Amino acid sequence: MLQHISRPLTYPIGPDEAERRAALQELGILDTTPDKNFDAAVRLACSSFDVPVALVAMLDEQREWFKAVTGWDAKEAPRELAFCNYTILQDGVFIVEDAELDPRFSENLLVTGDPGIRFYAGVPVGLSDEHHLGTLCIVDTKPRTLSAKEAELLRTLGQMVSNLLRQFHQTKIERKLNDQLDTERAARNQKELQLRDKQNLLEYASELAALGSWEYNHSTGHIIWGAETRHILGLTPVGNVTVEAVRGLFAGEDELKWQREIARFAASTTSLLFEGRIHTPDGTNKWIRVLGKTESNEGRIAKFGLVQDITKEREIRERLNEMVARDSLTGLFNRFSLLQHLRRLQRDQTAFSFAMLDLDGFKFINDTFGHAAGDQCLKRIARKLRSLEAHGAFVARIAGDEFGIILPDIGDRRGLERRIGKIVASLAFPMRFQQQTANLSVSVGVAMRSPGTSFDPETLIAEADMALYEAKILGRKRYSFFRSEMKYLAAKKAKTIVDIRKALQSGELELFYQAKLLLRDRSPAGHEALLRWRRKDGGVETPEAFRPALDDPLLSGEITVFVVRSALDQAREWIDRGDPNVSISINIGPHQFRDSNFPNFLLAEIKRRRLPASAIEIEVTEDVFLGRDAGEVLKTCRTFNECGLRISFDDFGTGFASLTHLLDFPVRAIKIDRSFVSRLGTEARAAGFLKAACDLAHSLTIEVVAEGIETHEQCELLKSIGCDYGQGYLFHRPSPASEISPK
Ligand code: C2E
Ligand code: MG
Ligand code: MG
């Protein structure tokens, strides 16, 4: 008991004590249950050194806690009594040959009482050399010495224990990883699979890392195999075993490697570390790790070492590699593996192409039919993409609905285009969900690398991404190849945002107005406000020149404020000039329409100018309805509807599910897209489609406006189809307000 000690026991503390303890806490090994691996290590230490006690001790704040102990019935000891306090302060073997003669320990209760330590030898152990978390030590109740060879063996055993600690740590990380996987999978309702995987992993991780020893007897030329080693190698418990016989165990090319390694080890004084596969005589396949040391003592060379069965460790490693490399939903490689593969190609400098795929309108499917449906689509696409692997392609899921494909070079750009075209075509198909059909398709961006050129994988991906952006802009379900000017376009996009922000501040933005007419008698039926940028040099740009600014979530908000205020001021002015039936349509981008502050803002601006709600109409494109927050959008639509503000559905026919949206959202008019109007008269089916759309709209008491009418023929056809209103160059081009007389 401590109070019997005549002077207080003190012990040294290293400068890294705080970090060391933090690392120990992080490892989370304290107070865990016994573990076969560590138990095997201390038993091996006892038998190797013929000592009664061996421990693996972790140095906690107040105590040394034993992860494994043999020959002593204790779980822990007070920290101030621990010999290991000294061991962890140095890197080598700390030896006390006789504790009774050592003033540091002679009065220590562990010396004077149980277990009666006289001899102690310990080596520090830890996850790295940085902090010694604890020790592997051997204890005897008689004084004794430790030869250099024995010290070396103890050190090797210490390394094995450190390996076990690292394995423990890895298992913990695996568990964490597994937990994360579990969460992900739970979301996907794959509970059974998840449990099976988890159990397997934990089973593997907790299997014993069997250790055995061997020694080469120089005078007889024989190798002495420890019993455990014989067991691991599947050899008979007794009898001579030649080096040749062991060589014969190794499988395939490992036999040659082993032969080379062992010959090098035999001829030199360097150490041996070899991992290879063996077939044991009883027919089992195993992975083993062989460690060897050479020691020279008074001219006598001794070679000895350890053999470890690492089959389970390799399995875990391979499974982990699998888990790290694959996407759990689709089973395809993930972004990490893709980058690794690209780096390999980077080293080889071979030619290849990289295609980046993105599902068109995936958000719509996800939002309409739920995430399970979205997952189903991704899996279906993944299955189709996998067939490309048979032709040497490397296929990965990069993110959400993005896939990457590395295609081997076929030396012919046309051939490549045909191949990509086929991929796009094969990935356009309908899928049914809840009695409804969604059309799947992909857009693809391709970047190429010629042989012998160096490249950076991230840049390559960015290039394919730029090409993909173009494919999307050009209308989806198609592919684009990267061209160097796209880089310039990306930079240009950033520049546009800066330019338009400046233009907005310096008053260079302006609204033009285009008249809308009742087709029946061409009487005026309002105007659409269209944004223009009047440059300082007098040139006037349409929104196509500064589309990125309208798409930018932040800047587009500022632009909308400007557009709304200018259009409303214009309405006020025209009313004041004597036209009570003024109607101005304003185009509102998706970011703003989904902003829950937008209705309040617009209604307040209308009220401030004492305008009738009928003076304003809002034009939105289908993008507005595609967001996650469809409920919020519907609420906004209803608010406007109740206030008497009309909403019309712009660019009708170009989107994904226009007809569905007509039923779901309270719109008062549809604006048939210019692309349909321009096909009138040349394509019979266009007229059919427009007629059907008009009939449907009318049956829902929705009015129909045709945009982009340029010819009389189009105008007459539209009229005959039953279209109510029209807009187009045939009547008026968009012009500054100053050039328009409202009445
Ligand atoms: P939009 O709303 O569908 O506008 C119709 C576009 O067709 C306008 O192009 C108009 O000038 C053009 N157009 C009208 N009649 C004809 C015709 O007979 N032939 C041809 N070839 N074109 C005709 P603009 O003004 O360049 O606007 C393009 C798009 O930019 C608009 O499409 C709208 O989506 C967007 N936009 C315009 N102003 C604003 C705005 O203030 N805010 C937002 N967020 N978007 C705007
Ligand atoms: Mg419009
Ligand atoms: Mg339009």
pLDDT digits (tens, 9 = 90+) for 335-373: 888 998 998 888 888 899 999 999 876 765 776 677 888
Amino acid at the residue 129: D
Please give the distance, rounded to the nearest whole angstrom, from the Cα atom of residue 587 to the centre of ligand 2: 5
Degrees, nearest 5: CA angle 515-521-522: 15
Q: Please tell me the distance from the alpha carbon of residue 489 to that of residue 261, in angstroms, as a whole number.
A: 57
Report the percentage of the chain scoring pLDDT > 70: 90
Give pLDDT tens digits for 147-173: 988 898 888 888 889 888 888 887 777
Q: Please tell me the distance from the alpha carbon of residue 430 to that of residue 553, in angstroms, as a whole number.
A: 32
Which residue is it, tokens 């992975």? 287
Q: pLDDT band at residue 570, thresholds of 50, 70 and 90?
A: very high
Run of H or E including 135:
strand 134-140
The phi and psi torsions of 399 (rounded to 5 degrees) equal -170, 160
Mean pLDDT along residues 518-534: 96
**What distances in angstroms separate CA 227 from CA 155, 278, 606, one per listed residue?**
21, 18, 93
Residue 491: per-residue pLDDT: 75
Residue 423: per-residue pLDDT: 96
Helices 335-348 + 457-473 axis angle, to 10: 120
Run of H or E including 41:
helix 36-49
Q: Calculate Rg over the CA atoms of the chain.
A: 39
Domains of the chain: 17-152 (3.30.450.40), 170-314 (3.30.450.20), 326-483 (3.30.70.270), 496-739 (3.20.20.450)
Q: Please tell me the distance from the alpha carbon of residue 678 to that of residue 171, in angstroms, as a whole number.
A: 65
Q: Which has the higher per-residue pLDDT, 432 or 439?
A: 432
Average pLDDT over all residues of the chain:
85
Q: What is the DSSP letter of 250?
A: B
- Protein residue whose Cα sits closest to atom 20 of ligand 1: 708
Run of H or E including 54:
strand 53-59
Closest ligand 1 atom, CA of 734?
11
Assess contact for 148 and 290: CB atoms under 8 A: no
Ligand 2 is an ion; residues with CB less than 5 A from it = 587, 619, 650
- Protein residue whose Cα sits closest to atom 45 of ligand 1: 587
Ligand 1 binding pocket mutation candidate from 587, 712, 730 (most atoms within 8 A of CB):
587
Q: Which of 730, 657, 719, 666 is nearest to 694 (CA)?
A: 719
Report the percentage of the chain scoring pLDDT > 90: 46
The phi and psi torsions of 668 (rounded to 5 degrees) equal -100, -20
β-sheet with 394-399: strand ranges across: 394-399, 402-408, 352-359, 442-449, 479-481
Please give the distance, rounded to the nearest whole angstrom, from the Cα atom of residue 696 to the centre of ligand 3: 19
Which residue is it, tokens 């406006």? 705
Residue 181: per-residue pLDDT: 60
Please give the distance, rounded to the nearest whole angstrom, from the Cα atom of residue 448 to the centre of ligand 2: 39
Mean pLDDT along residues 668-692: 85
Residue 186: per-residue pLDDT: 60
Mean pLDDT along residues 532-557: 88
Residue 448 DSSP SS3:
strand
Assess contact for 559 and 504: CB atoms under 8 A: yes
- Protein residue whose Cα sits closest to atom 29 of ligand 1: 543
Amino acid at the residue 591: H
Please give the distance, rounded to the nearest whole angstrom, from the Cα atom of residue 702 to the centre of ligand 1: 21
DSSP letter for each residue of 567-583: HHHHHHHHHHTT-TT--
Mean pLDDT along residues 274-280: 92
Please give the distance, rounded to the nearest whole angstrom, from the Cα atom of residue 365 to the centre of ligand 3: 24
Q: Which has the higher per-residue pLDDT, 95 or 182?
A: 95
The answer to whether residue 579 scores a pLDDT higher than 80 is yes
As given in the structure block, the two tokens for residue 563 are 């557009």
Residue 690: per-residue pLDDT: 85
The answer to whether residue 439 scores a pLDDT higher than 60 is yes
As given in the structure block, the two tokens for residue 210 are 């069997």
As given in the structure block, the two tokens for residue 226 are 């420890």
Give pLDDT tens digits for 103-131: 999 999 999 999 999 999 999 999 888 89
CB neighbour burial string for 326-348, b if at least 16 within 10 angstroms, e if fewer: bbbbbebbbeebbbebbeebbee
Residues whose CB falls within 8 Å of the CB of residue 588, separated by 6 or more in sequence, listed in order: 560, 598, 618, 619, 620, 624
Please give the distance, rounded to the nearest whole angstrom, from the Cα atom of residue 592 to the centre of ligand 2: 15
Chain mean position to CA 738: 55
Give pLDDT tens digits for 316-344: 777 777 777 888 899 999 988 899 899 88
Name the pTM for this structure.
0.46
Q: Which of 345, 334, 458 is nearest to 402 (CA)?
A: 334
* Strand 646-652, strand 436-440: pairing: unpaired
Q: Which of 35, 37, 47 is nearest to 71 (CA)?
A: 47
Q: Please tell me the distance from the alpha carbon of residue 484 to that of residue 616, in angstroms, as a whole number.
A: 44
As given in the structure block, the two tokens for residue 64 are 């040394």
DSSP letter for each residue of 699-740: HTT-EEEE----SHHHHHHHHHHT--EE-STTT---EEGGG-
Mean pLDDT along residues 191-209: 42
Q: Which of 245, 707, 261, 277 is nearest to 517 (CA)?
A: 707
Ligand 1 binding pocket mutation candidate from 500, 509, 530, 677 (most atoms within 8 A of CB):
530
Residues whose CB falls within 8 Å of the CB of residue 3, separated by 6 or more in sequence, listed in order: none
Q: Within 6 Å (CB) of ligand 1, which residues are found?
A: 514, 530-531, 542-544, 550, 563, 587-589, 619, 650-651, 674, 707-710, 727-729, 734
Degrees, nearest 5: CA angle 546-551-554: 110
